[in-house]
Amino acid sequence: MSQLAFPIANTFGLAARCRQHLRVAAPCRFGVDEPALVVGEGSNLIPLCDFAGSVVQLADQQLSWQPQGDDWLVTAGGGCNWHQLVSELVTAGIGGLENLALIPGSVGAAPVQNIGAYGLEVGERIDWVEGFDRRDGQPFRLSASDCRFGYRDSLFKQADGQALVISRVQLRLPQAWQGRTSYAPLARLLDGKAVTPQQIFDAVCVIRRQKLPDWQQLGNAGSFFKNPLVSAEQAAQLAAAEPGLVSFAQGDGSVKLAAGWLIDRCGLKGLAVGGAAVHSEQALVLVNRSGTATARDLLQLALTVRERVQARFGVTLEPEVRFIAEQGEIGFDQALVRFLG
């Protein structure tokens, strides 16, 4: 496959290539005659092998905001860097996204994953998204409710939305700002003090830098697994059997468990398979410890983690990252069958 000459950028540091890179600034048609993969900055991608088509990124990096009634309306191009957007808004005195500071990736990719951290998901702040269908170039605008936001999920990850490319996002941020500081590490760091968006932004950056390794120093894709949702009954049973269980009650009656705590409780910090390992400080992060990890190393490690957690807690972990094969994205179980046999 010598024609696959272009590397696929990914923060885990896996070696993979594609046929060409494209940067698009307007609605257009692509991915009809060959596979196409739309990416932000590669921070949530696991390329399992070379990709047989084109990798596409958005070029629009325009950013503006204006007041409307009781809100700020922030409009950002899909090619904007997410953390830079949050930083610029906080510097301008506009709060509402500071809990999502230091999350790598682009604005166009943020709604796809419905990124979230420290008590906030981006779907709560989105007014609308604009883009186009890459099969025919037809533009669209969708409201937040049309985007089917869920926990690390959206329309754009589902079968009927995977051809939709987000090129611009409008966020609605309340001028009557109220900080979210209930997340335990954030609350401890702020120590109950009256806060500003800048103080929460700074605290989130401190916590993330303490918890998560810098991908430029140690390849990783951030949180590898989602925090699993279980019933209140199952959570109560686990809490009785496992003192110190970290959990968070949800509004729908379910309970979210801390996946990192489950992995750590199984004694898996530092577990290595080839060049891949569970991070020694944050069990939710899998790392390319030597820069030589292969997709097979990573898949075997992720499978071992899932099996150990399942055996001890009866809880199945689901990856948060996206797995990319020759023709496009595939599920974790498909990847295991295909690349581990």
CB atoms within 10 A of CB 19: 18
Report yes or no: 154 and 111 within 8 Å, Cβ to Cβ.
Answer: yes
Q: Is 320 a catalytic residue?
A: yes
Collapsed DSSP state (helix, strand, coil) of residue 264: helix
Question: Per the residue annotation, which of 152, 168, 308, 322 is the catalytic one?
Answer: 152
CB atoms within 10 A of CB 291: 10
* DSSP states along 9-63: --TT----EESEEEEE-S----SSSS-EEE-SSSTTEEE-S--SSEEEEE----E
User: Considering only CA atoms, which of 262, 95, 123 is closest in space to residue 181?
Assistant: 95
Q: Is 152 a catalytic residue?
A: yes
Question: Per the residue annotation, which of 17, 87, 320, 322 is the catalytic one?
Answer: 320
Report yes or no: 74 and 55 within 8 Å, Cβ to Cβ.
Answer: no
- What distance in Å separates the CA atoms of residue 260 and residue 321, rounded to the nearest whole number? 15
Enumerate helices (H) and strands (E) in the chain, giving the number of each. 8, 22
* Residue with tokens 């503006």, as numbered in its chain: 64
Report yes or no: 97 and 125 within 8 Å, Cβ to Cβ.
Answer: yes
In degrees and rounded to multiples of 5, residue 285 shows phi and psi of -110, 125
Q: What 8-state DSSP symbol labels residue 98?
A: G
The two tokens of residue 96 are 């509402």
Neighbour-count burial for 71-103, b at 16+ CB within 10 Å, e otherwise: bbebbbbbbbbbbebbbbbbeeebbbbbbbbbb
- Strand-pair partners of 141: 130
Amino acid in the structure at residue 30: F
Question: Per the residue annotation, which of 54, 87, 106, 223 is the catalytic one?
Answer: 223
**Which residues are catalytically annotated?**
152, 223, 320
